[in-house]
């Protein structure tokens, strides 16, 4: 469709004219400008909602909201076209079969072996071994090898040595969805462990010997303590209400040597609504500080983040300081349990704060333990009540921790944002379906590619320059504060206002330091080379009169001065009431970068996605798919190119 206008969200006066294309996998907007022909690509999988707004004199507005928080506002000239696009997008954004998803057609031009290697990058067996199991207290259990015991669990889990198959099977029958207690994290220093499960089907008075034995077994696997904590991450009221449905929580009278604890984290529906409210605040045009703070408070979002974090802190403390094992569950043990176990692990073990370790953590506590990616993030069209930003909250907890402990994580904010992006993008197969069983049935590993390999290949972009594995901040457990005036929870504008560059700091400390480090490395290499040459020259007799001093070409000009200058940035609209200042929003200058991000899924020109779309059925004759990055750009989210000087009041 031609003559479509793409509006700037911050400055509604600014609009770009272009052509809109719909392909099997993307919506693409190509600008009409003669030089740039900037492209904006949006994956159908990313589309969260489409809103057709009232037709105005200028055309028919269409608002596309994405799961990665991008908001695109288009104006289609003809109402009929707008309607067609709307209907098409609704269908395209709600795939019915897995085969419709992008990951099945995405072709990064790797051979079969490379694809396999990519999937092998994260090996959970290795991870459990690294933790120190199997050992005298823990063993691997294959009772679920055909998913016969629990179809949302992996084929292999770790259980206490004294838990026989009989106990495990018996316990699974007493647990919601048969998700029996299994090992999530083992601390070899003191034998304390974090185990996870779902709620017991205790109702008001039901008991199960095997389940009680299971908890005993967990306790016995830690000789250093004579009790275990059982942490129910639900609010007490919800847990009690579950009893009426024949479920509930562990009764301290029935389970010997447990200390039971509620940590009230709200359910997926509350979280979905919370995010919704927060996004509404983000969409306000020119809110006052009060509007914003009040809206943020009203959404409750940070409160929920804190609740998850506090639960993680409690568990980490129990394991690291008290040396007591913890069994964590919620209702079904695949949402809040996953969040809390992974936050606790991250606090406890510096390995999970490395790039590889973080991938392993997600594979372990989210992917292998059956977090329902499909239902929660809408790979396929499904029940809207199942949708909830569960992993988004975990990822935000990690970001909040990174802000408090800047030297403790090997990766940077961009790493987190890209992971979140790809959980929704369905470009890779890692986060499809609801369980390991489903993924194996679909032969995901043979038909799609692994995100981890992709991120690993580009890991230079994701490094935190302040990280050192031997840094004091990175030894042992992290101890964050709890009171909100001590642990300053911030609003993550890098995520929720990701595409509004004008709102973010205009210079990136991370990118600057990374550039310096790169240069340092180059200089070190040069130094080495020169050192060798010097040694050689000294060895050989000084008969040779002339010594050619060949300067090495320092090809990369690594100082960010160039990008600094390009941040000439334009003023925001500082006075909405004043017509005499038609300034452009600074996001204007950075829109190129937002196209970079969209089209390349945030990666540099090495992203194989766009270098050749020949395998995709584009249905578009004229799409000149040159990679819009032009190469050579730092993947900095704020290295926008300078835009033309704005036109201001004449005279």
Partner 1 sequence: MMRSSQPLTGTNGRRCKEDEKLINASLRPGKRGYIIDTRSLNVAQQARAKGGGFEQEVHYPQWRRIHKGIERFNILQESLIKLVEACNDQSHNMDRWLSKLEASNWLTHVKEILTTACLAAQCIDREGASVLVHGTEGTDSTLQVTSLAQIILDPRCRTIRGFESLVVREWLQAGHPFQQRCAQSAYSNSKQKWEAPVFLLFLDCVWQILRQFPCSFEFNEQFLIMLFEHAYASQFGTFLGNNESERAKLKLPQKTMSLWSWVNRNEELSKFQNPIYEANSLVIWPAVAPQSLQLWAGVFLRWNRPSQYLEEAQEEMVKIIKYN
| 605 labeled part of a ligand binding site | no
**CA distances to 198, 217, 224, 388 from 369, in Å:** 11, 21, 27, 18
| Residue 493 C-beta: closest distance to partner 1, Å | 4
Encode burial over 267-286: b for 16+ CB neighbours within 10 A, e otherwise.
Answer: ebeebbebbebbbebbeeee
| 485 labeled part of a ligand binding site | no
Q: By C-beta, is 12 or 256 nearer to partner 1? A: 12
Q: By C-beta, is 46 or 588 nearer to partner 1? A: 588
> Tokens 């059956």 appear where?
370
Structure tokens at 91: 């269908």
Q: By C-beta, is 9 or 437 nearer to partner 1? A: 9
Packed helices 355-362 and 336-348: angle between N→C axes, nearest 10 degrees = 150
| 439 labeled part of a ligand binding site | no
Distance CA 223, CA 402 (A): 34
| Residue 459 C-beta: closest distance to partner 1, Å | 18
Told to judge if 82 belongs to the known catalytic residues of this protein, a careful annotator would answer no
| Residue 611 C-beta: closest distance to partner 1, Å | 32
Q: By C-beta, is 257 or 575 nearer to partner 1? A: 575
| Residue 265 C-beta: closest distance to partner 1, Å | 13
- What percent of the residues of the chain are helix, what percent strand, and what percent coil, each to the nearest 5? 40, 10, 45
| 334 labeled part of a ligand binding site | yes
| Residue 266 C-beta: closest distance to partner 1, Å | 13
Q: Is the dihedral of CA 291, 295, 296, 298 positive or negative?
A: positive
| 335 labeled part of a ligand binding site | yes
| 187 labeled part of a ligand binding site | no
| 618 labeled part of a ligand binding site | no
| 3-state SS, one letter per residue, for 43-55 | EHHHEEEEEECCC
Strands 15-22, 26-31: pairing is antiparallel
Distance CA 418, CA 462 (A): 9
| Residue 579 C-beta: closest distance to partner 1, Å | 11
| 651 labeled part of a ligand binding site | no
Give the chain's radius of gyration (CA, Å): 27
Element holding 73 (H helix, E strand): strand 71-76
Q: Is the dihedral of CA 455, 461, 464, 466 positive or negative?
A: positive
Distance CA 167, CA 164 (A): 5
Cα atoms in the Cβ-side hemisphere of radius 13 Å centred on 103: 31
| Residue 477 C-beta: closest distance to partner 1, Å | 14
Encode burial over 52-76: b for 16+ CB neighbours within 10 A, e otherwise.
Answer: beeeeeebbbbbbbbbbbbbbbbbb
Element holding 400 (H helix, E strand): helix 390-404
Q: By C-beta, is 3 or 507 nearer to partner 1? A: 507
Given the residues 141, 150, 282, 330, the one annotated as active site:
330
Tell which residue, 123, 157, 162, 155, has the closest CA to residue 140: 157
Distance CA 91, CA 85 (A): 10
Q: By C-beta, is 136 or 493 nearer to partner 1? A: 493
Q: By C-beta, is 53 or 493 nearer to partner 1? A: 493
Distance CA 355, CA 108 (A): 22
For residues 589 and 38, the answer to whether their CB atoms sit within 8 Å is no
| Residue 651 C-beta: closest distance to partner 1, Å | 8
| 630 labeled part of a ligand binding site | no
Q: By C-beta, is 282 or 432 nearer to partner 1? A: 282
Cite the active site residues.
330
Q: Which residues are annotated as a binding site?
A: 267-268, 330-336
Q: Which residues are annotated as a binding site for substrate?
A: 267-268, 330-336
């Amino acid at each position: 469709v031609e003559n479509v206008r793409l509006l700037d969200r911050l400055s509604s006066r600014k609009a770009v004219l272009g052509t809109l294309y719909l392909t099997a996998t993307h919506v693409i907007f190509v600008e009409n400008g003669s030089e740039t022909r900037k492209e904006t690509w949006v994956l159908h999988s990313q589309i969260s909602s489409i809103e057709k707004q009232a037709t105005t004199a200028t055309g028919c507005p269409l608002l596309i909201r994405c799961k990665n928080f991008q908001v695109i506002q288009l104006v289609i000239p003809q109402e009929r076209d707008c309607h067609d696009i709307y209907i098409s997008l609704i269908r395209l954004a709600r795939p019915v079969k897995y085969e419709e998803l992008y990951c099945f057609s995405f072709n990064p031009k790797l051979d079969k072996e490379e694809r396999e290697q990519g999937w092998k990058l994260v090996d959970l067996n290795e991870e459990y071994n690294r933790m120190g199991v199997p050992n005298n207290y823990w063993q691997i259990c294959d009772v679920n090898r055909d998913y016969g015991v629990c179809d949302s669990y992996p084929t292999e889990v770790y259980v206490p040595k004294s838990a026989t198959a009989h106990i495990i099977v018996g316990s699974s029958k007493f647990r919601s969805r048969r998700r029996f207690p299994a090992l999530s994290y083992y601390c070899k220093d003191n034998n304390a462990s974090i185990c996870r499960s779902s709620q017991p089907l205790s109702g008001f008075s039901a008991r199960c010997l095997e389940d009680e034995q299971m908890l005993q077994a967990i306790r016995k696997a830690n000789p250093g303590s004579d009790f275990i904590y059982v942490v129910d991450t639900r609010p007490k009221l919800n847990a009690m209400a579950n009893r009426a449905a024949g479920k509930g929580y562990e009764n301290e009278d029935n389970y010997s040597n447990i200390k039971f604890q509620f940590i009230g984290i709200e359910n997926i529906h509350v979280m979905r609504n919370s995010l919704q409210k927060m996004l509404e605040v983000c969409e306000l045009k020119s809110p006052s500080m009060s509007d914003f703070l009040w809206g943020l408070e009203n959404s409750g979002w940070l409160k929920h983040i804190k609740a998850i974090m506090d639960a993680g802190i409690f568990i980490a403390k129990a394991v690291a300081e008290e040396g007591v094992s913890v069994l964590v569950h919620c209702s079904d043990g695949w949402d809040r349990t996953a969040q809390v176990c992974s936050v606790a692990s991250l606090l406890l073990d510096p390995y999970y704060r490395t790039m590889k370790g973080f991938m392993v953590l997600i594979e372990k506590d989210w992917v292998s333990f059956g977090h329902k990616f499909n239902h929660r993030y809408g790979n396929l069209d499904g029940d809207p009540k199942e949708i909830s930003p569960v992993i988004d909250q975990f990822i935000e907890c990690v970001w909040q921790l990174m802000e408090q402990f800047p030297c403790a994580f090997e990766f940077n904010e961009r790493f987190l944002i890209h992971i979140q992006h790809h959980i929704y993008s369905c470009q890779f197969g890692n986060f499809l379906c609801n369980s390991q069983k489903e993924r194996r049935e679909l032969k995901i590993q043979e038909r799609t590619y692994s995100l981890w390999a992709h991120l690993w290949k580009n890991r230079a972009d994701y490094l935190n320059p302040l990280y050192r594995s031997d840094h004091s901040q990175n030894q042992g457990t992290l101890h964050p504060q709890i009171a909100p005036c001590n642990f300053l929870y911030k609003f993550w504008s890098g995520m929720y206002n990701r595409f509004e560059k004008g709102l973010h700091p205009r210079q990136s400390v991370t990118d600057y330091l990374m550039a310096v480090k790169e240069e340092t490395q180059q200089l070190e290499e040069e130094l080495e080379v020169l050192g060798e040459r010097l040694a050689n020259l000294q060895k050989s007799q000084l008969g040779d009169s002339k010594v050619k001093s060949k300067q090495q070409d320092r090809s990369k000009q690594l100082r960010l001065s160039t990008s600094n200058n390009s941040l000439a940035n334009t003023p925001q609209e500082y006075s909405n009431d004043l017509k005499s200042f038609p300034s452009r929003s600074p996001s204007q200058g950075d829109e190129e970068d937002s196209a970079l991000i969209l089209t390349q899924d945030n990666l540099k020109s090495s992203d194989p996605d766009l270098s050749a779309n020949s395998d995709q059925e584009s249905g578009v004759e004229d799409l000149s798919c040159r990679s819009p990055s032009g190469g050579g750009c730092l993947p900095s989210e704020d290295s926008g190119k300078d835009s033309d000087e704005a036109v201001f009041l004449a005279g």
